[in-house]
């Protein structure tokens, strides 16, 4: 069984960042309400950031993990670690204790849209 190389901290950090960015955007727009327009702006900004940061090697490693549902390791291990640290690749634990991996929804969007 392959143990995940990332704890929950990165996911929480990203959630806090997302909420902070939405709150700042709302304040800039002169409101205290975070509406769907602001949410979409924050999502689009995150996707642009991911698109700029994902190299061809990162994309290849993401696709390989998505196909396997698990970390590939070997020559891809360092890149997988970068993806996990950046929270572009997420780890999950099933009820039986097994681990599986998936791409962050915005990273998946970046992989599928050219």
Tens-place pLDDT, residues 71-109: 988 888 999 999 998 889 988 888 888 888 888 888 989
Domain presence at residue 1? no
Choose between 61 and 98: higher pLDDT.
61
Six-digit token pair at 8? 């929950």
Confidence of residue 10 (pLDDT cuts 50, 70, 90): low
DSSP E strand stretches across the chain = 89-93, 99-103
> Is 73 among the domain residues?
yes
Q: Report whether pLDDT(5) > 50.
A: no
Q: How many domains does the chain have?
A: 1
How confident is the model over 40-54, as a mean pLDDT? Answer: 92
In a domain, 108, yes or no: yes
Q: What percent of the chain has pLDDT over 70?
A: 89
Is 4 inside a domain boundary? Answer: no
pLDDT range class, residue 2, cuts 50, 70, 90: very low
Mean pLDDT of the chain: 85
In 54-104, alpha helices (H): 56-68, 77-85
Q: In this structure, what is the dihedral angle of CA atoms 101, 106, 108, 110, given to the nearest 10 degrees?
A: -140
Is residue 31, in this structure, part of any structural domain at all? Answer: yes
How is residue 86 annotated by DSSP?
T
Q: Is residue 2 part of a domain?
A: no
Confidence grade of residue 3 (pLDDT, cut at 50, 70, 90): very low
Q: Give the pLDDT of residue 12.
A: 75
40 belongs to a structural domain: yes
**Residues of the domain holding 80:** 9-112
CATH code where residue 32 lies:
1.10.10
The SS3 call for residue 69 is coil
pLDDT at 111 over 60: yes
Residue 3 within a domain: no
Give whole-number Cα distances, 75 to 79, 81, 102, in Å: 8, 11, 19
């Amino acid at each position: 069984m392959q143990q995940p190389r990332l704890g929950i901290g990165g996911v929480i950090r990203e959630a806090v960042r997302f909420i902070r960015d939405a709150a700042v955007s709302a304040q800039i727009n002169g409101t205290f309400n975070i509406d769907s327009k602001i949410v979409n702006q924050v999502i689009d900004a995150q996707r642009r950031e991911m698109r700029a940061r994902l190299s061809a090697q990162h994309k290849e490693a993401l696709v390989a993990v998505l196909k396997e549902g698990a970390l590939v390791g070997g020559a891809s291990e360092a890149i997988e670690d970068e993806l996990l640290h950046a929270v572009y690749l997420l780890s999950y634990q099933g009820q039986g204790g097994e681990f599986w991996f998936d791409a962050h929804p915005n990273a998946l969007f970046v992989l599928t849209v050219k």
